[in-house]
Structure 1
Amino acid sequence: MALSPVTPDRISLNTATLREQWSLADCIDGCQRHGFGGIAPWRDKLQEMGVDRAARAIRAAGLSVSGLCRGGWFTEEGALTPAVIDDNIRAVDEAAEIGAACLVMVVGGLPKGSRDIGLAHGLVEEGLARTLEHARSVGMPVAIEPLHPMYAADRACVNTMRHALDICDRLGPGIGVACDVYHVWWDPDLAEQIERTGTERMLAFHVCDWLVPTRDMLTDRGMMGDGVIDIPAIRAQVESVGFSGLTEVEIFSALDWWKRDPDEVMQIIIERCAKVV
């Protein structure tokens, strides 16, 4: 299918991209000045600003919220403690208050000291099911974000679209996936699993690039076009199932983009989205 250019009004800034330079208030202002269509806050920045104040500022700037990052971390305490569940309930409520399209879930890795990946999978699925009970009651879609397998031990033990969709099949309505090209580009089953997702379960689409070499496992993502991911091909697959949401730019880059002038970063995002996304 022919792809139309990703214009600024179709871009959402995931605030992790400028977390070292800008507060959430700065990001909201920057998105408005550069003509971005949306924003995706992280909860620490959201809470720092205040959820109510942030919600009002986002609405005043005319921005959509492509997602709230993040809920999950169900394995953090080795059990689904009240604290873990309560934090996810709060995340759902925060997402609803700011009008997010979904709450993105980074589900958690192995519990501390554990080698039992099956235990981790069980905790994650039960935690998602319990969170969904509340999320459905407030109409907040929950999006599992499968992370690259290098994060299976410490950040997320759900690492493929297939695994995420298997969970969605079992849990029913109100849950889908966030497709981040950084995490799934390598998967030989990706096209098949994107097709399986369908319109209702494709809740978010995140872009950046995979650098060669990658100098840090977490904080050395590339600007689109600087790495090896065929982003347009994945975008075409995502749009072919009916996804019409914003393209969310999420770049963790301690060695490069977090050191640059944030307005320069925003302008380069616009240029790259038009040319290589």
Structure 2
Amino acid sequence: MTHPRLSLNQATIKYADLETALRVTADAGYQSIGLWREPVQEVGLDAAAALVRDSGLRVSSMCRGGFFTPLEGPERRRAIDDNRAAIDETAAMAGAGAAGSRPVLVLVAGGLPDGSRDLIGARERVGEALGELVDYAASAGVQLAIEPLHPMYASDRAVVSTLGQALDIAEPFPAETVGVVVDTFHVWWDPEVLTQIERAGAAGRIASYQVCDWATPLPADVLLSRHYPGDGVIDFEPMTRAVAAAGYTDDVEVEIFNQEIWDTDAAAVAAQTASGFETAVAPYLQTAPVSAGR
């Protein structure tokens, strides 16, 4: 058995379809998986729910919604509609998962619109989009989770770069409906990260804790620069202890984007992920069980 709070984010075994990902994860002794929308959509929501139910796994999160930064117009309306669909999918997958599944929809804010340099305005539109979606998410019992991404992604992927910025955007909304993701890959460099984790915990806004490692040199496609915990330079102890002290007792996801890892047999990846987690992260977690639902 792997650590009881370890969740394998489906992106770590990207080339496995939903049925395979669920089987590999369960066979490796995991109790939880983080799902992505595209593999769910490939089989359809009802079939996906049946597969998740049969797997006996918890669902720790659904990736992803967001991309809220377009100016008002058809593109922005499509993004809002797509996020409503993502909320429905998240509720369905969490409902199909084992006890302790969490209806958490991870949000990537979106980058600058083509031709724009207005970073402040783009961040404001993220908050405005949440204002449109918060009642719908609340009615579905889904927590929207803003994920700050490393600043190297600010232009094309996420104008929200720090945990502090994510919390500022989340603050006007109820914590049970709008939270944040603490992802070590994206925030390890931030000198304010421990203070902001404490702030997030005090507000009850830590929706997900994700871990993977950072190592240089970065590949040409910097999106694919994540590594197994323990294979890079991130000190997981202070952040993990801070997240635990902040009261987070739910699943901890390992989410890795790395071409070499994607090209490796999924079962071997699941085993290596569990091994790295056990050494680099698990010693600093509280032993409290995953909470039973929300």
Q: How does 1:175-190 map to 2 (within 5 A)?
A: 175-190=178-193
Q: Distance in 1 between matches of 2:237 and 2:56?
A: 27
TM (norm. structure 2) is 0.88
Residue 7 of structure 2 corresponds to: 12
Q: How does 1:1-277 map to 2 (within 5 A)?
A: 7-20=2-15, 22-76=16-70, 79=73, 81-99=76-94, 100-173=102-175, 174-198=177-201, 200-215=204-219, 216-254=221-259, 256-277=260-281
Q: Distance in 2 between matches of 1:224 and 1:78?
A: 40
1:231 corresponds to which letter in structure 2? F
2:56 corresponds to which letter in structure 1? G
Q: Distance in 2 between matches of 1:147 and 1:250?
A: 13
- Secondary structure at the aligned position of 2:171 is classed as helix
Q: Distance in 2 between matches of 1:8 and 1:101?
A: 21
Residue 3 of structure 1 corresponds to: none
Most deviating of 235-244 and 214-223: 214-223
CA contact (8 A) 1:146 1:183 kept: yes
Q: Deviations over 1:157-182 (max 9, x none)?
A: 01101011111112334111011000
Q: Which runs of 5+ in 2 are unaligned?
A: 95-101, 282-294
CA contact (8 A) 2:69 2:76 kept: no
Percent identity between matched residues is 42
Q: Which runs of 5+ in 1 are unaligned?
A: 1-5
Q: Distance in 2 between matches of 1:94 and 1:101?
A: 9
Following superposition, the deviation at residue 264 of structure 1 comes to 0.8
Most deviating of 226-235 and 177-186: 226-235
Following superposition, the deviation at residue 75 of structure 1 comes to 1.9
Residue 97 of structure 2 corresponds to: none
Cα pair distance change 1:221/1:249, threshold 3 Å: same
1:75 corresponds to which letter in structure 2? T
2:274 corresponds to which letter in structure 1? I
Q: CA RMSD in A?
A: 1.6
Following superposition, the deviation at residue 77 of structure 1 comes to 6.2
Residue 285 of structure 2 corresponds to: none
CA contact (8 A) 1:78 1:111 kept: no
Following superposition, the deviation at residue 76 of structure 1 comes to 4.4
